[in-house]
Structure 1
Amino acid sequence: MSDGRRKGIHFSKLYSFSCFRSSFRDEHSQIGGRGYSRVVYCNDPDNLEQIQRGNYVSTTKYTAINFIPKSLFEQFRRVANIYFLVVACVSFSPLAPYSAVSILAPLLVVIGATMAKEGVEDWRRRKQDIEANNRNVKVYGRNHTFYETKWKKLRVGDLVKVYKDEFFPADLLMLSSSNEDGVCYVETSNLDGETNLKLKHASDVTARLHDENSFQQFKAMIKCEDPNEDLYSFVGTLYYDGQHHPLSLKQILLRGSKLRNTEHIYGVVIFTGHDTKVMQNATDPPSKRSKIERKMDKIVYILFSTLILVSFIGSFFFGIETKEDIHGGRYKRWYLRPDKTTVFYDPKRASLAAFLHFLTGLMLYGYLIPISLYVSIEIVKVLQCIFINQDQEMYDEETDTPARARTSNLNEELGQVDTILSDKTGTLTCNSMEFVKCSIAGTAYGHGMTEVERALAKRKRGGPPELGDISSDLASNSDDVLDSGKSIKGFNFRDERLMNGHWVNEPYSDVIQKFFRVLAICHTAIPEVNNESGEISYEAESPDEAAFVIAARELGFEFFERTQTSISLHELDHDSGKKVDRSYRLLHVLEFTSARKRMSVIVRNAENHLLLLCKGADSVMLERLSKDGRLFEAKIKEHIRQYAEAGLRTLVVAYRELSEEEYRLWELEFLKAKASVTAERDELVDAAADKIEGSLILLGATAVEDKLQKGVPECIDKLAKAGIKIWVLTGDKMETAINIGYACSLLRQGMQQIVITLDSPDIKALEKEGDKEAIEKASSASITKQITEGKSQLNSVKDSSVTFALIIDGRSLHFALKKNLEMSFLEVAINCASVICCRSSPKQKARVTRLVKMETGKTTLAIGDGANDVGMLQEADIGVGISGVEGMQAVMSSDFAIAQFRFLERLLLVHGHWCYRRIAMMICYFFYKNIAFGFTLFWFEAYASFSGQPAYNDWYMSCYNVFFTSLPVIALGVFDQDVSARLCLKICYFFYKNIAFGFTLFWFEAYASFSGQPAYNDWYMSCYNVFFTSLPVIALGVFDQDVSARLCLKYPLLYQEGVQNILFSWIRILGWMFNGVISSMIMFFFTTKATMHQAFRRDGQVVDFEVLGVMMYTCVVWTVNCQMAISINYFTWIQHFFIWGSIALWYLFLIVYGSLPPTISTTAYQVLVDACAPSPFYWLATLMVVVSTLLPYFSYRAFQTRFRPMYHDIIQMKRLESSDSETLGDLSVRMKDKMEHLKEGLKHREPR
């Protein structure tokens, strides 16, 4: 439909270089070999050789068929779940002290809950897949028209038509577009997060296919690379009309990107479904586990060892008792012998009986292992992530971006960060470039002070910094920037010598004219005209490039139009002083890459002169100058140094005129390289470009400012006070990096610098000679010497309060990271308060991060915003991505995402502290409560001659963890506040409650002569971890606070509780376990001794076995939940509801379960209503036992708080003494000494 076309800008010839086409030869192509075997037959659905893979995409983890087996496999990768499964299977044998159902029920609840969570998450993914797969697209049919079909029905080779603002359904080769030259605009924000539009163009041979009729005879073949994940390259060949045509990424439209500013395009499908590049990239990031989680696994193994030990002790004593049981030919314990067999109890085979009792013990004491621990921690972490995501203090209004926890695995790790490794551009700075100064023909232009210069002035305690003639200008005109007229984004330049056309009066006006022409022409920006206002804006690939084009426009060289072969400017004529239009024929664009560090264009001007215009980094540009082109080199180099000291980013601008013959010969070589369809094509193109980018004439240098983000200096200062070491890894020059360091408080007054660099005269002399082997040897020796001197500097002031900063450049870092030097380098680096690595590559960033993480054993956090930071983010223990100008690659590879660097302060000092403390206490408490419960069974077993008789009813056991003790832990995990974090407390409490419970079983066993008799009803046991004690632990893990967010930020030193792992040390963990053992002893022996000879019922009957179990279980539930109550620092109604609700749930359970027929409730029938509730002794004994059990811990905490306070205890006491005081000035001497001790400890911390 030709009438549907519209005239557009012509880029196709420019980017395909068709204006100077060379013939394509077969030897250029390596297609068909390994990695290049894909063959696509276009518009030929009947071809039997066509690839038949469909376009259906699935991102789900499970299918309807494999959900149950695969999900069960995931669940039983945990050792604890495997143990409970084995116990459940064995429980069907006569060895089991409980009914099989009471053991299976809690396991099914826990496994079922986790599987349900997995199922819901996977169903959401499936719904998204269904929506995507059923989108509509126009495809070319056998009747030679385009008809509508679903995305999922597309096949390789299909011709499709995509309209404006639609997503591309697969990876397409663009054939043509509604623009007459086959150009379209594409938005790739779904792929790489970049919001600027990308320009794509069709091959010239297909660009004429503009309507449906033109596709009737269209048949072609494409040979290209196999499916791969590289979003930024494509190698292929189009075979059409008997000719071969090279293809590149410029013709490829990727699935997930969107067509913009173009009515429609036609394309052919080359990759479908999971072969598309976006799906090839859909791999999970490296799996990370927190140190607490890894330590928790070790604690579980300790509990398994404890379980085996107590089972062995029970079986050992049971074997002894069994062997000695026959007295006078009669059994003393005849009641232990089953009716049908003697295998379980036979004095003549005591060893076998002991072994079988060992198996009974493994089931009996299994409640030492907290079955609901992993599920509870997952719930807590998810809720903690919700709080992080909804924190209004970490919401950026300007970009409408909240903080985002992309994983819940590392919440507690946020509270243990020892070292932060940060990118600079876009992370510490805004990545919003402003053109502020320039040096042209040896003269510096531009007024105003940068943030770095203000920081330097403040550091020198005087006026503006002495930076020669530049700074005197800046100081006298510093207010111009503030008092100027309207603000122009990207342009903050003030100098009357150049503005308003005054540059024509300057001594070197011809050089100034060439300088701004280069800025206006040497770029890949796209002009966009506002139809209403007529104003021109620019879509550029980088903020720097946009700033240069805008600067050229504001100073008289306005770029307003480009076609496929030309670029046009409104110029201020040097002679007449009037605006004229000039057009330049655009021949070639030699694009910027991080390896080349420069960009060039070749143009032909109106006078028919061939010009090479080039801009790039001074490190590569200055060495490419001709002898005659160095007239202003000395002055410009000095200006570049001064700009770098002012924290500005600099580029060198140069040009040269080409002869026709030189250009003709070079172009043949360059086009040959472009036509190559091999994996080495980029290297061949770069080599060809390198040959012509020489003998340049220096014009000047630009200086753009990338301002610091809001709050960066304050954030870094606060993190440093928290004892966190901060490393900055940047690609900037050393001078720029150092002065940015001062501006953002990374470098501070009084801090001594250790500088490691290869900018010595000896090295430079060797570089001029070009002896690579000698350079390598001398460089290595120089770095070794400098590192040794740095170690000497550190050792000389080891006992003083002097702090050091290490500054090293990229070339030096290359040698420092070699095997023979990396440990010496690391030793120097970790003993410095700040480290700056300049000119570092992405690979070096990742290697430094890995070195610090692996060799120090401390928690590392990497933060960045660009694709070059991805390796660093994935190597670190925690990766934090900043959603900025450079796209979303860093965010997509991160564990946490924030919009501004300053939010890192709250993420670590508040959420990190809270999460660490909550999880630590939660885990410790979990094990405490299970040990306290389990060992009551052990004591009962000893009491019952190790008979294997349980002390509790089956369902008491089952419900303990699930209902009666779980709610308070959830409350602690969610709400409790502490200066440290919540996770460690939660884990410790988990262990405490299981130890306290489990050891009641052990004492009961010992009391029962290790008979195997359980102390509790089966269902008491089953419900302990799942119902009666789990929810309070989760509440602890999510809500507990012992110091508010305001005080966390006010006293950053308290963060060291997490770094030093005070709350989850082995001493603290074992302390909670010991507390569980003591609690179990008090509860068991106090209960049994108190009821032994005491009339209990109204008719004078004494306590029977079932009543003893209920009394002891009641004491356990009250004790572990009250233990939680006195451990929580921050109460909300949720904690109250979970803690006291868990206790009330136990009584409700007794009433409901006891009201069931005896065939179901067994020994628990009416036990509360008929026996316990009417007895005053039951209530009085419960009160006395609970108070007695809690007294040791309460006394210990009172002693510790008074005489050996932790850091958060000090702040709590301070808060109670004076909530209005803003300083620690009125703290007691002891408290001040404690804080000073911590400060000194931070200064002299030794690397681990």
Structure 2
Amino acid sequence: MPQPEAIPLTKMPPGDDDSDLDPLDMHVDDDHDHDSAPLLDKHSQDEDPNGASASVSGTGSSRTITCDVSRATSYKYPSNAVSNAKYNPVSFVPVILYEQFKFFFNLYFLLVALSQAIPQLRIGYLSSYIVPLAFVLAVTMGKEAWDDIQRRRRDTESNNEPYDVIDAPSYVKSKDIRVGHLVRLHKDQRVPADMILLQSSESSGESFIRTDQLDGETDWKLRIACPVTQSSDIDSLSKVSVVASPPEKNIHAFVGTVTLGQSSVGVSVDNTLWANTVLASGSAVGMVIYTGKDTRQALNTSKAGTKVGLLELEINSLSKILCACVLLLSVGLVALHKFGPNWPLDIMRFLILFSTIIPVSLRVNLDMGKTVYAYQIEHDKSIPDTIVRSSTIPEDLGRIEYLLTDKTGTLTQNDMEMKKIHLGTVSYAGDAMDEVAAYVAGDASSTAQRSKREIGARIRDAVTCLAICHSVIPSVDDGEVVYQAASPDEVAIVKWTSSVGLTLSRRDRTSLTLVHESTHTSMEYDILHVFPFSSDTKRMGIVVRDKSRNEIWFFQKGADTVMSRIVQHNDWLEEETANMAREGLRTLVVGRKKLTSQLYETFLSKYNAASMSMVNRDWAMAKVVGDYLEYDLELLGLTGVEDKLQKDVKSSLELLRNAGIKIWMLTGDKVETARCVAISAKLVSRGQHIHTVTKLHDREAALEHLEYLTQKPDACLLIDGESLGLYLNQMKDQFVEAAVRLPAVIACRCTPQQKADIARLIKTWTKKRVCCIGDGGNDVSMIQEASVGVGIVGKEGRQASLAADFSILQFCYLTKLLVWHGRNSYKRSAKLAQFVIHRGLIISVCQAVYSVASKFEPLALFQGWLMVGYATCYTMAPVFSLVLDKDVDEDLAKLYPELYKELTEGRSLSYRTFFVWVLVSLYQGTIIQGLAQVFIGLDEELFERLVTVAFTALLLNELIMVALEIITWNKIMFFSEIITLGVYIGSFPFLRDYFDLDYVTGGPGFYWKTALITATALIPPWIAKSLRRKLRPPSYAKVQQA
């Protein structure tokens, strides 16, 4: 057989220019009638900007693609350039400003600042209002600019990556690749666009790809070169014609045909190389069929919905109250002045004066705090390699009330080990496996045909079936045999067959070899067909020819729910499946069928005809398999594979349950397996009743179950997917009302969509925070639907981790993420938010007191750089240092998980705590400004002296208030206080326009008055806080005293 060329053509290095000229002349024709292959049904098309018909969204007609160097280049399809940037140099500033000023409060402060350009409204310096707003915008714009620069840098690297395009005079940049190009790929090279695999450097046509960047799965995937092109020379490939289905999102489906000369063959997803996958072995040649936004990768890339934290929603509601306060205070002061002749103007001026009540820096402080929390989480050595992918919701980690968890790979290790095999009359496990090995060693090639077969032959047949029926590929890495497979179950079974004496030594697309370890003899089989496992079919099968006997066999394994209808009648399968499930084992039923030559030829003819269909091809092929192969199989046995529990799962679940979190386990596994894992993992307490609901079809029976659960709120619900579907479709509200009250719910045989539906239902119905955790691609929908999504990097890949808000390595890390980091994030942000609000309120109260004393005139008390400094360098560092505070040590937080319950009740930031801070601000502001006016007076010539005393007392009050709020001191907190005070004292010489410095240096009057005012403002709130702590100590204080 001729070998495809593996040595690339000599190319010129890619140039630096960004020219869009294509190095090849390509002809791409949509909807072209093809003589040798049927076309897909035609649908509506989207119009290309240049007027060419092109399908870009998954709908539309098929496309016929040819490579013809004699024709002019045609650009009917999207460019292959990647662009993830949010802005361009022209749009950056306008878009950023729009995004910021669509928030009411930012727009409010902008209008306040602009109002100072109007002489009638001017109160102080324009800088007093512009600088705080500009600081907020500068921080936001800097962050956005940095993020966008990084996105552009990654885009440029990807777009300029050079590729070997056949017949091109030089390497072609990724962004210049077009539909119809023939691209030669090499090992470890990224696939630049969606392609049909035409040739592989392997004579068998096999190529392996890594798809972890596309679907998150870490296992290599096998791809097969198109048969009609694999044996052709490179020059012939320019005559290839491809009919491809319209672009769509489904990465596991593709329908098309490839024609070369008079030969046509149907192609499927097994013959494709999707963009952003990586060629893992050898070299390959492919024809580009989809580019840019038509590729599977682009169609599956959607903007993740922005998650808004519960704390932010609570702060927004409080901000509305503050806004109302500003309006009421302004109107009230004007009313007390009996609405003078310029009362509308006075109201506007008061609105400007009291604008500090709405803290412009609140959002910046909280965002900076979130950055600190993310840094602390990612650098916590006790939970290594934890990644914060969404830094906007760390506070929600401390507010979780419902935890929805996957089972396999999340609560269990996804580290499979073959534990048991049952053959109908006898079962083997543990040390008895040595007996299985002895039977296998006895006669590996025995094919006893007696009606009542000896046990040894039955064992050998079952082991042989397990050694053949799989998708495992053996390879040697550093001298060790490594098995690659799509499922860890299959790897465990193949390892077991090797341990009992039948080893898979070699496998490619067309054949496999087993080695009998006791005799070192080989058993060779031709692989005729493979029917892969899918979550829909729940089974996989393989048709092989035994070379030594020229016999054709069909082997199959799968879930008992489907295999029980395919195998011959028996009286033990259902009972033994239930027994293994109770032991927590994952079960597979194995069977076989010998095919006569006539039956196989008939099947082959029908199957090939179905494979050429361009409409419902998968269904047609599956029907042929079902009609000719999947019936009356000989039942060989039942396997039980153990999936061990993750490290510290039991203690973690117990801790979370004690923290008041209600836990739901959602799994696709069987009812008995789910029950067993729930018990072994302590998800269900000892002696707790498990109410099982399965195979519900009747609405009245469903209502009876709900009524029972309403009367038994301490019971645990175990429900299967079929019954769950009935509840979700017909009585959603009644179900969720009963279920959310239960301490635990176990849902098995769940689909990914059902998992997401449950997360959405709990979240919307209860209005509580829901955390979802999983490790597989089937958990992504649930994770994205959750208030907080946590992904585990596991053996099923990284897809869940990439889609999650937080990525961890083990389930037990979740306890620290919630109980410790969640607690700190929420309590710190709650305290920070209220203190920033207090900082704005107290200075506004001082202004109000002065305005009342000034006969309700809207005159500014603190002006210019005093206002700027108050919001930045004079208070910001100490206030922000509150994000480093902690009320209990980590050990106490874990020892008393009950402390977590208080967080879910939102006591740290509530209307009650908010109004307490308002009262404190009213008292302190009134005392500070009132006593300053009593001590200094209101004479105009003493105004600077009044400002000096009042502002200094105000600043000292804030610094000491921060100190009183801190529970656990550290060096940063201490030095932020000292340095801030030093900065303030050091700035006195620069504040001559605002302060009476002669009064400061002229005697003790300034000092004793300032000290007395500060003490009077601070002591009563401090006494009240101390008494409350003594009479009604908070929970954290109680555990510290214990």
| Aligned equivalent of 1:201 | 224
CA contact (8 A) 2:204 2:510 kept: no
Q: How does 1:564-603 map to 2 (within 5 A)?
A: 564-571=509-516, 578-603=519-544
- SS state at 1:1193 partner: helix
CA contact (8 A) 1:43 1:158 kept: no
CA deviation vs aligned residue, 1:674-717 (integer Å, no higher than 9, x gap): 22224x33333333333231212211100011100111111111
| Aligned equivalent of 2:256 | 236
User: Is 1:558 aligned with 2:503?
Assistant: yes
User: Is 1:1205 aligned with 2:1033?
Assistant: yes
- SS state at 2:710 partner: helix
- SS state at 2:1030 partner: helix
- 1:929 deviation in Å? 1.3
Distance 2:249 2:646 in 1: 33
User: Is 1:153 aligned with 2:176?
Assistant: yes
CA contact (8 A) 2:36 2:262 kept: no
| Aligned equivalent of 1:426 | 409
Distance 1:297 1:503 in 2: 76
CA deviation vs aligned residue, 1:1209-1244 (integer Å, no higher than 9, x gap): 2123x1xxxxxxxxxxxx4xxxxxxxxxxxxxxxxx
| Aligned equivalent of 1:1062 | 907
User: Is 1:166 aligned with 2:189?
Assistant: yes
2:105 pairs, out of 58, 80, 83, with 80
CA deviation vs aligned residue, 1:512-559 (integer Å, no higher than 9, x gap): 1221121111112112246x75x6432111100111222222223222
Distance 1:1102 1:620 in 2: 93
| Aligned equivalent of 2:846 | 936
Distance 1:523 1:1144 in 2: 73
CA deviation vs aligned residue, 1:968-987 (integer Å, no higher than 9, x gap): 222111x11xxxxxxxxxxx
Compared CA separation, residues 1078 and 223, structure 1 to 2 (3 A): farther
- 1:179 maps to amino acid: E
CA deviation vs aligned residue, 1:1151-1194 (integer Å, no higher than 9, x gap): 2243xxxxxxxx42xx3532334342212122111121122321
Distance 1:1153 1:161 in 2: 71
Compared CA separation, residues 439 and 856, structure 1 to 2 (3 A): same
Q: How does 1:671-710 map to 2 (within 5 A)?
A: 671-678=608-615, 680-691=616-627, 692-710=629-647
- 1:1077 maps to amino acid: L
Distance 1:683 1:188 in 2: 25
Distance 2:793 2:435 in 1: 38
Q: Relative to structure 2, which stretch is displaced further, 859-868 or 26-35?
A: 26-35
In structure 2, list runs of 5 or more residues that go unmatched.
8-33, 45-58, 447-452
User: Is 1:358 aligned with 2:360?
Assistant: no
Distance 2:973 2:70 in 1: 66
Q: How does 1:1046-1125 map to 2 (within 5 A)?
A: 1046-1092=891-937, 1104-1125=942-963
Q: How does 1:494-505 map to 2 (within 5 A)?
A: 494-499=433-438, 501=440
Distance 1:1175 1:36 in 2: 91
User: Is 1:71 aligned with 2:91?
Assistant: no
Distance 2:675 2:77 in 1: 58
1:804 pairs, out of 682, 694, 715, with 715
Compared CA separation, residues 936 and 241, structure 1 to 2 (3 A): same
CA contact (8 A) 1:176 1:266 kept: yes
1:389 pairs, out of 372, 375, 378, with 378
| Aligned equivalent of 1:527 | 474
Distance 1:616 1:597 in 2: 6
- 2:645 maps to amino acid: L
CA contact (8 A) 1:952 1:1110 kept: no
User: Is 1:647 aligned with 2:589?
Assistant: no
| Aligned equivalent of 1:378 | 367
Q: Relative to structure 2, which stretch is displaced further, 364-373 or 552-561?
A: 552-561
CA contact (8 A) 2:387 2:808 kept: yes
- 1:496 maps to amino acid: E
Distance 1:159 1:74 in 2: 44
- Taking every aligned residue pair, what percent have the same amino acid on both sides? 31
Distance 2:624 2:946 in 1: 91
| Aligned equivalent of 1:613 | 555
CA deviation vs aligned residue, 1:753-808 (integer Å, no higher than 9, x gap): 222223xxxx8xxxxxxxxxxxx4xx3332222221222233xxxxxxxx432211
- 1:290 deviation in Å? 1.0
- 2:276 maps to amino acid: G
1:945 pairs, out of 851, 855, 868, with 855
CA contact (8 A) 2:403 2:661 kept: yes
Distance 2:3 2:241 in 1: 25
- 2:1006 maps to amino acid: Y
Distance 2:709 2:261 in 1: 68
Q: Relative to structure 2, which stretch is displaced further, 382-391 or 36-45?
A: 36-45
Compared CA separation, residues 38 and 380, structure 1 to 2 (3 A): farther
- 1:590 maps to amino acid: F
User: Is 1:306 aligned with 2:325?
Assistant: yes
Normalised to the residue count of structure 1, the TM-score between the two structures is 0.76
CA deviation vs aligned residue, 1:258-305 (integer Å, no higher than 9, x gap): 22221x222222233343322333322221111110111111111111
- SS state at 1:953 partner: coil
2:709 pairs, out of 790, 805, 813, with 790
User: Is 1:265 aligned with 2:284?
Assistant: yes
- 1:428 deviation in Å? 0.5
Count of residues in correspondence between the two structures: 990
Distance 1:528 1:374 in 2: 55
In structure 1, list runs of 5 or more residues that go unmatched.
7-22, 323-349, 396-401, 448-479, 481-492, 764-775, 795-802, 977-1040, 1094-1100, 1155-1162, 1215-1226, 1228-1248
CA deviation vs aligned residue, 1:24-74 (integer Å, no higher than 9, x gap): 975563367543344433254844544364322121111111111111111
CA RMSD of aligned residues (A): 2.4
| Aligned equivalent of 2:450 | none
- 1:177 deviation in Å? 2.1
Distance 1:201 1:673 in 2: 19
2:426 pairs, out of 443, 448, 468, with 443
Compared CA separation, residues 210 and 968, structure 1 to 2 (3 A): farther
Compared CA separation, residues 564 and 880, structure 1 to 2 (3 A): closer
Distance 1:1193 1:228 in 2: 65
Compared CA separation, residues 731 and 24, structure 1 to 2 (3 A): farther
| Aligned equivalent of 1:737 | 674
CA contact (8 A) 1:28 1:675 kept: no
2:41 pairs, out of 13, 30, 38, with 30
CA contact (8 A) 2:409 2:775 kept: yes
Compared CA separation, residues 89 and 653, structure 1 to 2 (3 A): same
Distance 1:177 1:602 in 2: 24
CA deviation vs aligned residue, 1:990-1009 (integer Å, no higher than 9, x gap): xxxxxxxxxxxxxxxxxxxx
CA deviation vs aligned residue, 1:1066-1096 (integer Å, no higher than 9, x gap): 1112211221112111111121112239xxx
User: Is 1:1170 aligned with 2:1008?
Assistant: no
CA contact (8 A) 1:40 1:50 kept: no
- 1:562 maps to amino acid: R
Compared CA separation, residues 52 and 868, structure 1 to 2 (3 A): closer
| Aligned equivalent of 1:670 | 607
CA contact (8 A) 1:806 1:832 kept: yes
- 1:499 deviation in Å? 4.3
User: Is 1:1191 aligned with 2:1019?
Assistant: yes
- SS state at 1:937 partner: helix
| Aligned equivalent of 2:200 | 177
| Aligned equivalent of 1:281 | 300
Q: How does 1:136-147 map to 2 (within 5 A)?
A: 136-141=162-167, 147=170
- 1:196 deviation in Å? 2.1
- 1:874 deviation in Å? 1.3
- SS state at 2:712 partner: helix
User: Is 1:851 aligned with 2:876?
Assistant: no
CA contact (8 A) 2:647 2:812 kept: yes
| Aligned equivalent of 1:1010 | none
- 1:500 deviation in Å? 7.1
CA deviation vs aligned residue, 1:818-876 (integer Å, no higher than 9, x gap): 343x3332233222222111222212111111111111111110000011111111111
- 2:722 maps to amino acid: R
- 1:3 deviation in Å? 8.8
1:248 pairs, out of 264, 268, 272, with 268
2:143 pairs, out of 94, 114, 117, with 117
CA deviation vs aligned residue, 1:889-933 (integer Å, no higher than 9, x gap): 111211111000000010001000000100111111111111111
- 1:359 deviation in Å? 0.9
Distance 2:77 2:457 in 1: 63
2:455 pairs, out of 502, 508, 512, with 508
